[in-house]
Amino acid sequence: MKRRDFIKLSLAAGSAVLLPDFSYAANLNVSQISFSSGDYSSNNAQTIMIFMYGGASQLAGNLTNFDEIESKSQSSYDYFRGVTKTVNGCWQEAGGTDMETLMDNGDMTLFRCCYSAVREAEGNKSHGECTAQNQKGTFDEDGGGMIANLAQVLKENGVVNENTLMPFVTMEGESTFYVEGNYPLPGYLKPVGINENFDNPYKRNVRNWTYYTRAERDIANYNRSDEDGGFDPALSGKMDTLSQQNNQAGKIKDALGRRATLSNFIDSIADSVTPDLGDDAYPDNSFSEKIEAAVKLLVKNPDTKVLTIGTGGLGGWDDHNEARDYVTRMERLFGALKSAMAHLKAEGKEQNINIMVFGEFGRNVNLNSAHGWDHGNLQNFYVLGGKGYFNHKGAVGETVVDASGSINRLYLKPKSGTYQFEPLSIAATLYKIYGIENPETLTNNNRAISALFS
């Protein structure tokens, strides 16, 4: 791992990503949370949460209105050189074939009406604000991140403690998912940063020796084994002892106290082999490598509850112009997800591990003069796996075209009477599967997505 990447993930200090000094929120009152240990235990849930930064268009998963869209769009959709509807109205060339396979197998629900009526009324389609709200699961500016809130609830109910190994993991660095609420989190609940190569900065060897301080180098006196490039075990133990004696109480001391455990664990994950997936083998691209690593980690470590990941390796989704690459991105995204489901099944984990895919918002459907789409308030929410507690239903929700604005404003909106929900319901759904019985207390009264449980 390069030094800049190492620092970016904040791994040099140990197990916790060093987040900025966010102000504490007032939205989490643990005494008001109803927690069911029975629901938590029966679900045995683990989650890979994929956030599509930039706001992905809904069209890959919803071409049901395409004839009307094409007739009213400012620019011709012939720009994409292929817009083919699948049986369920997905975009075949943009991952639609894999979407159909996942739905046919009962592995995925595609929600087409994740729609923010609140933002629509306020005229809010801002990247930063919408990202923060969706990752917090609240419209409150000072709210804590949904995973920080979940961590606090699980700690208070004895589900996770200082002996829980890597309960929360990030493969994207810092994000609002982990902004602390009004209860500061202990170091062991802060997310561990990892990458797809399982580079192991916790390991003491020549390869990452440069990341240790001059004092540590002097203590060890470069007394390393020539055979494996590692430290003499006695010297390594001495360094661990000194780190606990000389560091002040806090996350650095806590992280160094867990260094050896984390080092051995990461090595064991890196050495594990993905089962032969046959025709469902992971595609050869960097994003697929991340998804494969994420599945490996959760399969090998039941202690990890939630892992968050962006879509680095695919590109961003802010497709205001020249949107042709959107098709390739969606194809690679769902190629990786199809492989991930095959991987979970091969490991016997499709019942408890789920994958959630969403972003800050969607986009309109007018292909503008720059051959792109502008911001919208309707997006798809893709949910995979978790078949022990989710009842997958394929494609859910119907949309209509809103062409009431100017020529360059053409939107999809939920059809009257169709099943729809605010994006904050995603957070409520996450809370629910981890045993929180009244998640709406944390999400401005937005309830969990009931269609997943009926």
pLDDT tens, residue by residue, 22-78: 333 345 777 789 999 999 999 999 999 999 999 999 999 999 999 999 999 999 999
How buried is residue 176: exposed, middle or buried, by Cβ count under 10 Å (0-12/13-18/19+)?
Answer: buried
Query: Nearest CA to 376 among 368, 390, 387, 365?
Result: 365
Which range has the top average pLDDT, 230-239, 261-270, 291-300?
A: 291-300
C-alpha of 398 from chain center: 26
- Percent of the chain beyond pLDDT 70? 81
Query: Nearest CA to 220 among 245, 243, 197?
Result: 243
User: What is the SS3 assignment for 217-286?
Assistant: HHHHCCCECCCCCEECHHHHHHHHHHHHHHCCCCHHHHHHHCHHHHHHHHHHHHCCCCCCCHHHCCCCCH
Query: If pLDDT is split at 50, 70 and 90, which confidence band does 222 have?
Result: very low
Query: If pLDDT is split at 50, 70 and 90, which confidence band does 326 have?
Result: very high
pLDDT for the residue 267: 83
* CA 262/CA 268 separation, integer angstroms: 10
User: Would you kindly state where each structural domain of the chain is located, as residue ranges?
Assistant: 35-175+281-452
H or E stretch covering 220: helix 214-220
Tokens 């009324």 label which residue? Answer: 121
Q: Which residue has the higher pLDDT, 427 or 202?
A: 427
Between helix 424-433 and helix 127-136 the angle, nearest 10°, is 20
Mean pLDDT over residues 95-102, rounded?
98
Query: What number of H helices and E strands is found in the chain?
Result: 14, 10
* CA 40/CA 38 separation, integer angstroms: 5
* CA 206/CA 140 separation, integer angstroms: 47
Q: Using an 8 Å Cβ cutoff, are 286 and 313 in contact?
A: yes
Phi-psi region of 30 (alpha: psi -120 to 50; beta: other; left: phi over 0): alpha
Of 263-267, 285-289, 292-296, where does mean pLDDT reach its minimum? 263-267
Phi, psi (degrees; rounded to nearest 5) at 365: -115, 5
Mean pLDDT of the chain: 86
Of 127-131, 179-183, 336-340, where does mean pLDDT reach its minimum? 179-183
Q: Does the pLDDT at position 5 exceed 60?
A: no
> CB within 8 A of 23, min separation 6: which ones?
142
Q: Does the pLDDT at position 443 exceed 50?
A: yes
Exposure string (b/e) for 308-324, b if CB count within 10 Å is 16 or more? bbbbbbbbebbbeeebe
pLDDT tens for each residue of 364-384? 999 999 999 999 999 999 999
Query: Nearest CA to 239 among 263, 266, 215?
Result: 215
Mean pLDDT over residues 277-295, rounded?
97
The encoded tokens of residue 334 equal 């769902």
Query: If pLDDT is split at 50, 70 and 90, which confidence band does 8 have?
Result: very low
* CA 64/CA 113 separation, integer angstroms: 13
> CB within 8 A of 93, min separation 6: which ones?
80, 82, 83, 84, 327, 331
pLDDT for the residue 9: 34
Q: Using an 8 Å Cβ cutoff, are 365 and 411 in contact?
A: yes
How buried is residue 435: exposed, middle or buried, by Cβ count under 10 Å (0-12/13-18/19+)?
Answer: buried
Count of CB atoms within 10 A of residue 193's CB?
A: 22
The CATH code of domain 35-175+281-452 reads: 3.40.720
Q: Does the pLDDT at position 357 exceed 50?
A: yes
Mean pLDDT over residues 160-170, rounded?
93
pLDDT for the residue 27: 59
* CA 298/CA 305 separation, integer angstroms: 8
Do the strands 46-52 and 306-309 form a parallel or antiparallel pair, or are they unpaired?
parallel
> CB within 8 A of 386, min separation 6: which ones?
43, 45, 47, 351, 352, 353, 354, 433
H or E stretch covering 413: strand 411-414
Residues forming beta bridges with residue 363, ordered by sequence position: 375
pTM, entire model? 0.86
Query: If pLDDT is split at 50, 70 and 90, which confidence band does 277 have?
Result: very high
